[in-house]
Amino acid sequence: MPTDDHQNPEKEPQSQSTKRSEGGNPLRWVILAVVLIGGLWVGIQQLRKAEPAAPQSEGGGGQQGPPPATVIAAPVVQQPVQEKRRVTGTLRAVERAEVAAQESGAVKEVRVDVGDKVEKGDVLMLLDDRRLRATLAEAESRNTAATAVVEERKAEEKRATTDLEMKEKLLSQRAVAEREFLDAEREASVASARRKAAEDERKASESALELLRVRVTDLEVKAPFSGRVVQRNVDPGEWIAPGDSVVTLVSSGTIEAWMNVPERFMGSVSEGEAPISIIADGTEASSPAKSIRRVSDIDPVTRLFPVVVEIDDLEGELAPGMSVHAEIPVSEMAGMLAVPVDAVLETFQGASVFRVSPTEDGGMPIAERVPVNVRFRRDGLTFLDAESLKPGQMVVVEGNERLFPGTPLIVGELEEGEEAPVEGVKP
């Protein structure tokens, strides 16, 4: 019976042929790649030779270069302006209080609810006053009795003083013994002391009476300032102790906007009055600032410091906790270069504008890239710093996206009364 050893010689040539075929594949791919690269290079060279020459003038002396571009230009202007920065913040109440009871007792009546507007002095809650009023009546009676005792002691003192004066005259005439005079003197001193003690007792009684009257008044919890009730903490029938919160009250009429300003502007923010407006993000309501004050306490994490702006809220449209924003002045009024917003191009190389620059031979003006430092934008203008820009020079405001330095320009200017294009607004 034939074995595998007899079959192997037949398969070996075929296997070796297959290996040689597989081993030859990489070489063919390399040769093919070289041929393709060579063909591509030859084709590129042919295309370069076949490019048409730049058009020449009739004299044959025309220059090669990019075709002219049609653009719209506007002049660089210098305007007096005050730099402002947009900052955000939160509204806070000027006053916020947990209005507390000053006496213990059962709640008799609560006269306000959440959302109610109250004026200063309005009664918010009443406590049961029966016990204190009974104590007050008792104190009034004691004070009346103390007043009567004082009058009695005054009469006794007057009688003793008169008796002493009479005996003093008689003693000088040797009509009475010296012992009787000394007894009269003692009686006068005792009467005076009793009168003083009675007066002190009456003062103590009056003080106790006044304290009870104050305590009775304190049974009425009143609003310490005008505002709105934002939380009610008690109901009729509850027993409360001194210091327990009755309602939470926030002031109305005037409100504060706490704005967060970067620390680098700390020396630039001026206090006092400023022509700025606080705008509520939710309602877009704008409120002019009454005053500005700076809080010199920089957050170590955010590097921001608060600026407190006081505004009026006469209509009650604002509420503590609302988010707001404003343009805060951070510099003095000064002249600054300005160009239309669309004149500035922002690239990875930085901000720049294309200036319309005349050529030496008096031909078409060309585009010249000028780096600029953008300070801020306002009312369709970009205010910037640029050493080489001067007021009156023309910069491209439309068509600058396709320009390169040195591109010839066919310049059209904005017509009289026409505004420069503003970013995000179609003419």
Q: Please tell me the distance from the alpha carbon of residue 97 to that of residue 245, in angstroms, as a whole number.
A: 9
Percent of the chain with pLDDT over 90: 44
Is CATH 2.40.420.20 the classification given to domain 69-82+334-413?
Answer: yes
* Phi–psi pair at 270, nearest 5 degrees: -95, 145
3-class secondary-structure state, position 228: strand
Radius of gyration of the chain (CA): 49
Q: Characterize the bridge pairing of strands 409-413 and 227-232.
A: unpaired
Give the C-alpha distances (Å, rounded to integers) separating 126 from 130, 222, 230, 236: 12, 9, 19, 9
Neighbours of 105 (CB within 10 A): 20
Q: What pLDDT does 6 receive?
A: 44
* 108-127: burial string, b at 16+ Cβ within 10 Å, e else: eebebeeebebeeeeebbbb
Residue with the two structure tokens 């449209």: 317
The pLDDT of residue 378: 84
What pLDDT, on the 0 to 100 scale, is given for residue 277?
86
pLDDT digits over 275-298, tens only?
788 888 888 888 888 888 888 888
Rounded Cα distance, 22 and 212, in Å: 115
pLDDT of 296 reads 86
In this structure, are strands 220-222 and 323-329 parallel, antiparallel, or unpaired?
Answer: unpaired
Q: Where are the domains of the chain?
A: 69-82+334-413, 130-218, 251-329
Q: What is the DSSP secondary-structure string of 2-51?
A: --HHHHHHHHHHHHHHHHHHHHHHHHHHHHHHHHHHHHHHHHHHHHHHHS
pLDDT digits (tens), the chain, 427 positions: 444 444 444 444 444 444 444 445 677 777 778 778 877 877 776 666 544 444 444 444 445 567 888 999 999 999 888 878 889 999 999 999 999 999 999 999 999 999 999 999 999 999 999 999 999 999 999 999 999 998 998 898 888 888 888 888 887 887 778 888 888 888 889 988 988 998 999 999 999 999 999 999 999 999 999 999 999 999 999 999 999 999 999 998 899 999 999 988 887 777 777 778 888 888 888 888 888 888 888 889 999 999 999 998 877 788 899 999 998 887 777 888 999 999 999 988 899 999 999 988 878 899 999 999 998 888 889 999 998 899 999 999 998 888 889 889 988 876 654 554 443 333 3
DSSP letter at 77 equals E
Predicted confidence at residue 62, as pLDDT, reads 46
**Helices and strands, number each (H, E), in the chain:** 3, 24
Residue 356 phi, psi (nearest 5): -80, 110
Q: How far apart are alpha carbons 1 and 196 in whole angstroms? A: 152
Neighbour-count burial of 143, counting CB atoms closer than 10 A to its CB (0-12 exposed, 13-18 middle, 19+ buried)? buried
**How far apart (Å, rounded) are the C-alpha atoms in residues 252 and 248?**
13
Is residue 307 within 8 A of residue 292, CB to CB? The reply is: yes
Outline where 116-272 has alpha helix (H).
130-172, 178-218
The Cα–Cα gap between 147 and 166 comes to: 29
| Conformation bin of residue 132: beta by default, left when phi > 0, alpha when psi is -120 to 50 | alpha
Q: Residue 59: what pLDDT?
A: 40
CATH number of 251-329: 2.40.30
Question: Strands across the sheet with 334-340, in order?
Answer: 77-81, 334-340, 381-385, 373-378
Taking the chain, what is the end-to-end CA distance rounded to the nearest angstrom? 99
**Contact criterion met (CB below 8 Å) for 260 and 306:** yes
Cα 197 vs. chain centroid, distance in angstroms? 64
Output the six-digit token pair for 201.
Answer: 């007792």
And the tokens for 419? Answer: 């505004």
* Pairing between β-strand 409-413 and β-strand 69-75 as defined by DSSP bridges: parallel
Query: What pLDDT shows up at residue 267?
Result: 77
Determine contact, residues 124/112, Cβ cutoff 8 Å: yes
- For residue 271, what pLDDT is reported? 76
Q: How far apart are CA 142 and CA 210, in angstroms?
A: 13
The Cα 172–Cα 421 span in angstroms is 119
CA–CA distance, 91 with 296 (Å, rounded to integer): 19
